[in-house]
Structure 1
Amino acid sequence: MSQQVRLLLAAALVLGAGCAHKPATLSSDTLSRLEQTPGGYLAGAPKELGDGPVLNNKDFVWSLDFSPDSSRVAYTHLGSKFYLLGLWTLGTPPVLVSDKNVNTYEADLEAVAFSADGGLLATAGRDGAVRLFDGATGEPKGQVVTEEPLTAVAFHPSGRYIVAGSARGLVSIFTLPQLSFIFESRAHMGQVSALAFARDGTLYSGGWDKHVRVWATREEALRTDQARVLFERRGGFTVVRGAVNGKAQVTFAVDTRAPAIILTTEAAGQAGIDVAFLKETVTVPTPLGNTVARLARAQSLRFKSMPVEGVDIAVCDVCVPSGAQGVLGTPFTDRFDVSFDESTHEAILTSKAGPAPGAETQGLTLAPQADFAFEGYVNDVTLDAKGLRLGVAFSEEKAERSRAVYEREKKGVQEPTAAFNAGALVDAASGRILQKWSIHGGVVSSAGISPDGRSLVTGGWDKRVLLLTEGQEQLQGQRGFGWSVRRVRFSPDGRWIGVAAWTPQNPIGDQESDPAAALFQVLYESASVERR
């Protein structure tokens, strides 16, 4: 462990033992005005990064976010068998509130975000799930599983919707707290790397197609007589996914020969059907002859925004082909046309009778507003407090952890600086780069803009966190880490910078290593208090 990191850890322990976490350069009057100003934040030129508490020095930490009032911080990290969500209150000292298993280690937990009022937390991962948690306690509040691996998540400022971005460029909108599907748009040709909302609901999305796109959001009537859902070919069947009774996400094989809509016993239980209490039965043919299945009347299906009400479902394990949890038979295909868009791998389900009476609904939609193209891959996008400026992280190669990358790291080969291995301040209205710093070696993975829009904190695969200010080429501060930096963020009040990083893992003894989730004080030359 380096001497620099040892000193950082020592300082963190001292702070954690009871010292107040207050920037030494802030006057008591400034602190008092900040605490008494709702939505207030510090504005001014930072002069340095001060020491702060280390929250994790054992794991790979993937993402990090502050609550809107800057009183809590949450991060996702990889334990021995599971990805976890850690939640801390930033008291004196910081207190770990919750550290819960979220999903198994096979699916990276890429993103975490607080809602605008701080009441909810959300994670998004490559298992396709958006998960909700209580923002104060960390207790689970619900989940929805989408059709694509997820890489970004953000709450709409109204508190009624949540938006998720996928590794294949899809941006999807769900209601809160129900997590019902509302709308989707193929926003990028490649991974969605970031989602950021302005207070007026404008959405900024960044992607590996080298674009930042701007979306107007508005509530409008949604089409409920058609849905586009991904399909796969499995064992001679076309398989699609839908929800049953608003509780279970089920993979259905489409089979026009089957005389019923069918679920396995396990899927029926997940959908809230108490199979043991079903009295009616129906005969269903199978490859081995007819079988008698129990029948659940008047159930509901949903394919994205399209509801299918009043369906009877047979429960039969031997009637469902391998690789599926259910079958959409003739009771479904008699009511809905099924066609296929091979270019997008989507099945188009269309009601033959048109929208069902009373099925009309309102929901949030996205409309293209602007498109900013850049020369580098966009790895992160953040927005200042007034929605005027963006902080953007770029790289000249995709930020993918390939074998070649690992081999260079093992050999200690330093990645080169380059024009678009950079962090930048960008005008949110025009997409014009106001100032760009090409200081990192290799990928710049993250860029957090200060609340006042004048400064930027960047993190990269060169193991460095850099603090930069408009109009100045030199650094206002930097810190080194044991491995790649994944996420950097200013706290909404401007007092803290949070860092999520990977750390060289130590399998023996106390298993402690270099900092992986850490906070640093932002020390200002002078600071004023502004309001959002």
Structure 2
Amino acid sequence: MSRMRLLLAAVLVFGVGCAHGPPALSADTLSRLAESPGGYLAGDAKGLEDGPLLNNKDFVWSLAFSPDSSRVAYTHLGSKFYLLGLWKLGTPPELVSDKNVNSYEYDLEAVAFSADSTLLATAGRDGELRLFDAASGEPKGRILTEEPLTAVAFHPSGRYIVVGSVKGLVSVFTVPQLSFAFESRAHAGQVSALVFAQDGTLYSGGWDKHLRVWATREEALRPDQARVIFDRRGGFAVVRGAVNGKAQVSFALDTRAPAILLTTEAATQAGIDVAFLKDTLTVPTPLGNTVAKLAKAQSLRFKSLPMEGVDIAVCDVCVPTGAQGVLGAPFTERFDIAFDESTREAIFTAKAGSAPGAETQGLVLAPQADFNFEGYVNDVTVDAKGQRLGVAFSQDKAERTRAVYEREKKGVEEPKGPFNAGALVEASSGKILKKWSVHGGVVSSASISPDGHSLATGGWDKNLLLFSEGQEQPVAEREFGWSVRRVSFSPDGRWVGVAAWTPQNPIGDQESDPAAALFQVLYASPTVERR
């Protein structure tokens, strides 16, 4: 059993003091913090005190605190599924729920709470954005997007949520409806981080070595055009669209088809009771005509572009392999189709323009600044006043390659370097105010303290490090069993949470090194400030 595991096993409840270093928070400080809604601790961070151990069995991928610092959630890999664990912080913490989210083939990359702490969201490489009740963990909604997802953040208003993809796409959806509102190809590579300042400014980090700043505003959206990602399969361009607001379906574009078509399975997912359909339509196939059941007055949506009053024929043999439906002549009669091969997007434009009164409100992202760095940007966080950012960099792209695993297996230490680092960055200019190049290899995560003067970092060198602005070396460190995936300051500044992988133990109690753990931040002379 590792020294780290022994230490944490001894301090599973709050309030256990350290033998050396600054004292834990006083009762008076905790009382002032509790009496200050939106308040946070400020001062010189001097150390960490081991706190509750939440998971010591699994690969934990991401971790987030609720804005009111009353709950913590993390995504982790079970035997067959990725799960979402939700805990209520107390003495001791209470596990609220631990639910299966998606199959183990698709990493569950990101988790975030809404500003009012009532909703929880996950984003995964299966392309799904999911909403959950933050009090119970019960599902509240989901939408399948066009690309694998790697980042998620709620707008401070609570009316919108933003996700980032492996291909650099940043998309905006309404909350709780999860209706598409806006998108921008923000990065030339994976979106590694999304975070909002309190004033609505969005910061996005990417593997193109850019950190971009976006102003946000609500405006009327014209739902007469949509740009939709397409693939080419079996001689057809294939796009995704929603049917009846219930199912995301892959459609082959075929102007020769006399109808809009769905397979029986896709129709059922869209809420169409195929067995009770009375109307029929004759549809030609390569093997001759077939009679298909017809569902009248259905609806389609391609992002913000609606198509109402649609008749859909249900016919399995009419749909080409690799698709779940066909957009035939009834679709092309109403929409012009163009292809942008550079972005792999099909552009649908309504021939009749927008219907009167069809305009909707949506959140629009407007480029405000673009900061380019020498290292890959792996994580971005923002302080309580929106003045400083915490940024994690690496000199090599943070990809888990076979070469990386072989080096880890052999115990080869990754090199230190100028941009294997965590940094405090001025939000308005992108200027690096302080950079710590202490980790060996990839720095996967960096979380800035609410007061903007401390930084917690985690890396593939197994280390959690805590830095204070006036110090060259970390003021505290903890070693884990394997890679640290995510670190996060709680919004009240009291805790640092860590998500890590742990060497898995398939026998006995299956316990291993810590994978989700909390540490109390120690301050020399803490004060309580308000946002």
With normalisation by structure 1, the TM-score equals 0.98
Tell me the percent identity.
81
**Whole-Å separation in 2 of the counterparts to 1:493 and 1:108:** 29
Tell me how far 1:24 sits from its aligned partner: 4.2
Matched residue count: 528
Instruction: Tell me if the contact between 1:26 and 1:526 (Cα under 8 Å) persists in the aligned partners.
Output: no
Residues 178-198 of structure 1 deviation map (CA, whole Å, 9 limit, x = unaligned): 101111000001000000001
- Map of 1:468 onto structure 2: 467
Structure 2 residue 386 is the aligned partner of structure 1 residue 373: no
For 2:360 and 2:6, the matched residues in 1 are separated by: 58
Which residue in the other structure is 1:152 paired with?
151
Q: Deviations over 1:403-424 (max 9, x none)?
A: 1101110111101110000000
The equivalent residue for 1:309 is 308
Q: Which residue of 1 aligns with 2:187?
A: 188
* Contact 1:222 1:361 (8 Å CA) reproduced: yes
In the TM superposition, residue 293 of structure 1 has moved relative to its aligned partner by 1.1
Give the AA of the match of 1:140: P
User: 2-side partners of 1:353 and 1:256: how far apart?
Assistant: 19
How far apart are the structure 2 equivalents of 1:508 and 1:77? Answer: 19
Residue matched to 1:420: 419
3-state SS of paired residue (2:524) = strand
Provide the C-alpha distance between the structure 2 equivalents of 1:263 and 1:237, rounded to a whole number of angstroms: 16
Deviations 1:242-273 (A, max 9, x none): 00111110011111111111111111111111
- State the match for 2:336 in structure 1: 337
Distance across 2 between alignment mates of 1:20 and 1:289: 80
Give the AA of the match of 1:105.
Answer: Y
Any conservation in 1 of the 2:112–2:121 contact (CA below 8 Å)? Answer: yes
How far is 1:20 from its partner?
10
CA-atom RMSD, angstroms? 1.3
Q: Which of 217-226 and 109-118 deviates more?
A: 217-226
* Closer, same or farther: CA 28–212 of 1 in aligned 2, 3 Å: same
Q: Which moved more, 1:367-376 or 1:4-13?
A: 4-13
Q: Is the 8 A contact 1:11 1:52 kept in 2?
A: no
1:254 aligns with 253
Structure 2 Cα separation of the partners of residues 514 and 19 of structure 1: 20
| Consecutive unaligned residues in structure 1, runs of 5 or more | none
The structural deviation recorded for 1:476 is: 1.1
1:57 maps to 56
SS at match of 1:291: strand
Q: Distance in 2 between matches of 1:422 and 1:91?
A: 34
Q: What is the CA distance between 1:309 and its match in structure 2?
A: 1.1
2:269 and 2:91 mapped to 1: Cα distance?
A: 44
Determine helix, strand or coil for the equivalent of 1:109. Answer: coil
**What is the CA distance between 1:464 and its match in structure 2?**
0.4
Cross-structure match for 1:433: 432
- Paired with 1:87 and 1:421, the residues of 2 have a C-alpha distance of 32
Q: CA deviation at 1:312?
A: 0.8
Give the aligned partner of residue 399 of structure 1: 398
* Alignment pair present for 1:518 and 2:517: yes
Q: SS at 1:406's partner residue? A: helix
> Residue 205 of structure 1 corresponds to which residue in structure 2?
204
Given that 1:107 and 1:127 are in contact with CA atoms closer than 8 Å, whether structure 2 keeps it comes out as: yes
Q: Which residue of 1 aligns with 2:506?
A: 507
After the TM superposition, which residues 109-124 of structure 1 pair with which residues of structure 2 at under 5 Å, given as runs? 109-124=108-123
1:8: which partner in 2?
A: 7
Whole-angstrom CA distance in 1 between matches of 2:198 and 2:445: 22
2:43 aligned residue: 44
Cα deviation 1:304-339 (Å, max 9, x = unaligned) = 111111111111111111111111110011111111
Deviations, residues 135-166 of structure 1 (Å, cap 9, x unaligned) = 11110111101111100000001000000000
Offset of residue 384 of structure 1: 0.4
| Residues 307 and 359, structure 1, Cα contact 8 Å, conserved in 2 | no
1:280 is aligned to 279
- What is the Cα deviation at residue 7 of structure 1? 2.8
**1:80 maps to what in 2?**
79
Structure 1 runs (4+) deviating above 3 angstroms are 18-21
d(CA) in 2 for partners of 1:177 and 1:512?
Answer: 38
Matched letter for residue 503 of structure 1: T
Question: Residues of 1 paired with 2:26 and 2:226: CA distance?
Answer: 58
State how far apart, in whole Å, the 2-side matches of 1:5 and 1:19 are: 16
Q: Distance in 1 between matches of 2:466 and 2:17?
A: 23
2:34 paired residue number = 35
Partner of 2:10, secondary structure, is: helix
Distance 1:109 1:252 in 2: 26
**Structure 2: gaps spanning 5 or more residues:** none
Instruction: Say which SS state the counterpart of residue 407 (structure 2) adopts.
Output: helix
Q: Quick one: distance in 1 between partners of 2:414 and 2:79? A: 30
Determine the C-alpha separation between the residues in 2 that align with 1:25 and 1:331: 69
- Aligned residue identity for 2:399: E
Q: Distance in 2 between matches of 1:493 and 1:474?
A: 24
Map 1:98-109 → 2, pairs under 5 A: 98-109=97-108
Structure 1 residue aligned with 2:445 = 446
Partner of 1:179: 178
Indicate if the aligned counterparts of 2:9 and 2:53 stay in contact, CA closer than 8 A: no
Which residue in 2 is equivalent to 1:384? 383
Q: 1 CA distance for matches of 2:337 and 2:502?
A: 49
